[in-house]
Structure 1
Amino acid sequence: MKKITVGGVPEHYNYPWKLTTRNEEFKDLFDEVVWKDYPSGTGAMCQDLRASELDVAIILTEGVTRDILNGNDSRILQVYVDSPLIWGVHTGSQNNFEKPYTLEGKKIAISRFNSGSHLMSYVYADQMGWTLTEDDFVVVNDLQGAVDSLQKGETHYFLWEKFTTKPRVDSGELKMIDECPTPWPCFVIVVKNEVYNKYKVEIDLMIKRVKEKAEKVYQDDDLISNVSKEFGLLQEDVILWHHNLRWNTENTPISMDELEKPIQFLRALNMIPDQGKEEMKKQLLGNEKLRI
């Protein structure tokens, strides 16, 4: 049986993927396409790609770039979201942190190492002029774990996509005291090499259909209400998110130029091996001549 498992965070960005899999729009390509939610994010997806428990991932650019360059046998196919992810800098509602500078030297909650919450903490620290070490982080697994940890005072702040956490802010569980946009396209589409070698034509067609769906639903009059219901967000928050959203609807391979910023960031932190551009290109994009 031709079965493929696709995974991503259970967030609004993945609405086109959820629609197409739910509507069985790939049944001529595969006998079964399974969508798998990853509430704990990029680190968990990287782990499952390595373990061959996940075939295709809609995943944060910086996290998967690091993991592939450190031995994950997968490749980046295309950009999925061109617009930056806006990370909220959150703290527990009961504490006295009100200004970003008060967070210097405090404990940071992360879903796991190599996750977006981990790597973007370094981006934020760089913007603030701080230096971090691995001892600054506490693994809390997911958003609920972060809420619990912050409320208990075990950790002091946590970075997560701001619209996903907005209901927690509105309820008083969290407060957001700053924002940190991703300085590169935020989500890419990644596939296990062995899976792509086996199902290249089918996977390319699957991605093409998802991007066509994204282009269509972006202009759909019902998008705001549908996303609001699907992900439990207020309509006014979905409107704000939609205003800045740019799904990548071009069915073109990613290039090394598009990965230059995250590579420079990871290299500066000594998170990737020291190697030349051609070697990195082979690892990140595969060996196809079409990839430039």
Structure 2
Amino acid sequence: MSTSASTPSAATGHARFPHLQAVIFDWAGTLVDHGSLAPTQIFVDAFATFGITLTLDEARGPMGLSKRDHIRTLLEDAGLQAQWQARFGKASTDADIDAIYERFMPMQIEKVGRYSQPIPGAVDALKALRGAGLKVGSCSGYPRQVLDVLLPQAKADGIEADHVVAGDELAAGGRPGPFMALANVLALGIGDVRACVKVDDTTPGIEEGRRAGMWTIGLSLSGNETGLTLAQLQALPDAAVVAHREAATKRLMAAGAHLVIDSVASLTKALAEIDARMARGERP
């Protein structure tokens, strides 16, 4: 039987989200680690061992890329490159990127577990998706060695995906390319990328989902774009929270997000909106 052009080729048929098949998540700042502190702080610490001063805001700039690409992008910044040249008397090279990465990796592996706590609402959101018959994929800028530490701890706290792709294990590369998202499509047996939703707290992660042909939901307050722990966020006056939300939403929408919500605690409502838009014939 042929399928109409406006209907996913393998619709789920589940009553709650009948037009959707899978949700693909990022990890830090999306499911765990409110504020996405684990990767940012370790970048600051790793660069400091080379005598280079890197602020948390600077470290956040390329967040979402694979960690080696993240380091490369940081060193392309004029200010950091000037620091490097002042300290070492020459421009940074690929060998220097490798050296920083090799310094970064054991520090990240050692400390990632400290930041593995689920973001409030994440456990319930995953239960709701599975209860609705949706598959749960995931990908990360973290290399596999780091995920091998993070994933068991997250699982113990109720956070688990059906499939996980690490930022260093695809020959085609990582974000903002579509490759990790599409690897989830293949592994999960999804019949139509248009029935997938990518959820991410970074602009490269949103671009990844759009390039893969998926719906995309950005997270404004729980992740990299705001960069605050839950306690720090809750301590802010309402006006400051509104300002953070508006600034993050603007950046995520500019990257191509179809919707932006505060955190995964609001995910099921956002998915219902996307499903309704699909029922009206809209496609990502």
Same fold? TM cut 0.5: no
- So what's the TM-score if we normalise by structure 1? 0.31
Q: Give the number of the structure whose residues are more often strand, by fraction.
A: 1
- So what's the TM-score if we normalise by structure 2? 0.31
Q: Give the number of the structure whose residues are more often helix, by fraction.
A: 2
